[in-house]
């Protein structure tokens, strides 16, 4: 069943398919990598060769916009339309 309101995709392993540039041979590997994808980013978490945690995050345009807003670099506007205190 597919949910049209899917907000996050997660998995505890990923499958990588690569084609060698010289030989043209395709290789497929399943790796123990934690995968998380949202509208804001794609995050891959695993261990390095020493068993220490390693993580890489790829931000989407939406995610970068949110980071920019959080750091004060966004437009000066009230997203709530104003509140009376």
Length reported for the chain? 85
Select the more confidently predicted residue: 81 or 43: 43
Whether 84 is in a domain gets the answer: no
5 within domain boundaries: no
Q: Structurally, how many domains does the chain consist of?
A: 1
- The confidence score (pLDDT) of residue 4 equals 67
64 in any annotated domain: yes
Look at residue 62 and give its three-state secondary structure. Answer: helix
Answer whether residue 77 is part of any domain: no
25-57 residue pLDDT tens? 999 999 999 999 998 999 999 999 999 999 999
**Residue 21 lies inside a defined structural domain of this protein:** yes
Within a domain: 78: no
Give dist(CA 53, CA 84) in Å, integer: 46
Query: Could you tell me the pLDDT band of residue 63, with boundaries at 50, 70 and 90?
Result: confident
* DSSP-derived pairing of the beta strands 9-11 and 14-19: unpaired
pTM for this predicted structure: 0.65
Can you spell out the DSSP letters for 41-80? EEEEEEE-TTS-EEEEEEE-HHHHHHHHHHTT-S-S--TT
């Amino acid at each position: 069943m597919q949910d049209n309101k899917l907000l996050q995709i997660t998995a505890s392993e990923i499958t990588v398919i690569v084609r060698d540039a010289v030989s043209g041979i395709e290789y497929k590997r399943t790796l123990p990598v934690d995968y998380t994808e949202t509208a804001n980013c794609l995050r891959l978490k695993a261990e390095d060769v020493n068993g220490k945690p390693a993580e890489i995050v790829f931000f989407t345009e939406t995610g970068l916009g949110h980071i920019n807003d959080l750091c004060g670099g966004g437009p000066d506007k009230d997203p709530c339309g104003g509140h009376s205190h």
